[in-house]
Amino acid sequence: MTTSTPDLIVLHEHPEWQKPLFAALQRRGVPFAPFDVTRAAFSNVEPPRARLYFNQASPSAYIRGNTRAVPLALAYMRSLELLGARVLNGAEVFALELSKSAQATLLRRLGIDCPRSITFNDVAALRRYEHDVRWPALLKPDQGGSGARIQVVNSLAEVEAIFAADPNVWLPDNLFLLQEYLPHDPGRGIVRLEFLDGELLYAMRVVTHGHFNLCPSPVCNPEEDAGACDTPPHQKVEAPPVEFHPFPEVPRDAVEMAKRIVRAARLDVGGIEYLETDGGRRVFYDVNANSNLRASVAAAFGFDPFERVVDFLAGELAKRGKRRRCRVE
């Protein structure tokens, strides 16, 4: 139930995404309150209101007209943590999710095969790397989310034309990546591994049909219809909807590699994505702190994913309660 003195506060920007989690929390009787970061304020003199905070903010907020949500969420989490609050998927994790360039560097540092990436804030600066780029390449924003503004490009001239035609493409973060394009079988798509508290929750194979918006939420990608999340007009794809399939046969070594990423990124709840290229590479390319769990996929494994998340949250609340009592004694 929602209460003015909650045990848990959930930071969010997309209320439709949160309905399954909120329903599970209510069923279990966990006192919680939502905190909508789209229109919010906080003070530096107010102590944390709850024993536990759970960040569900999304980098893609700007495509829904909520550009200010991300900086507010990041600032609020930093302030909460400075005050000693426990924030799941907190400021450091969220900052990593907001930066594809940081993710690429993390994967490289871990020795995990990942796309070569060039980060830039001025197209002319790319000329330094012009002879290193293999075309076609993938043009994507540093602050990603729901596949927004991702395009396949075939030359530096095409990149220059994109930004010249619409300077607003730079928004909201004014930072882009030119990334290695990875040819792969569209019938096999990509693999997404969902983790909870450091362990694999489930794996799914996502057949993209040329789409870049691979948000697992049924709100964005219903079972049969095209995705409902807003995407820029140039990214609309005339193709069948994205398909999400349970993947119980996920290779054990792929899971172990993803676990290394989860530990290094300090993810409490999150998704790791990889694909298998036509050349036989297994390439990891995306770290997601905001997991829109897909109930139909988890059901194939015999459980409700949101109940598992509530189990985790209840366990974290119990830990916080024990610590508090120890300090009093």
Q: Determine the structural domain holding residue 244 and report its residue range.
A: 190-307
Are 270 and 195 in contact by the 8 Å Cβ rule? The answer is yes
| 71 and 30 within one domain | yes
Splitting the chain (329 residues) into consecutive groups of 10 residues, what average pLDDT does each group show? 80 94 98 98 96 95 91 98 98 96 97 97 95 94 80 96 94 93 91 98 89 69 60 59 94 98 97 96 94 93 98 96 43
What total of structural domains would you count in the chain?
3
| 158 and 77 within one domain | no
Which residues does 279 contact at the CB level (< 8 Å), separation at least 6? 183
Q: What is the CATH number of the domain that holds 175?
A: 3.30.1490.20
pLDDT in tens, 228-249: 455 555 555 566 788 999 999 9
Burial of 82 (0-12, 13-18, 19+ CB in 10 A): exposed
DSSP string, 18-80: HHHHHHHHHHHT--EEEEETTS----TTSPPSSSEEEE---GGGGGGT-TTHHHHHHHHHHHH
d(CA 235, CA 66): 20
pLDDT in tens, 149-170: 889 999 999 999 999 999 989 9
Which of 180, 200, 225 is the endpoint of a domain?
180
Helices of type H across the chain: 15-28, 69-82, 91-97, 100-109, 156-165, 252-265, 295-300, 305-328
Residue 321 belongs to some domain of the structure:
no
| 173 and 197 within one domain | no
Q: CB-hemisphere CA count at 13 Å for 32?
A: 25
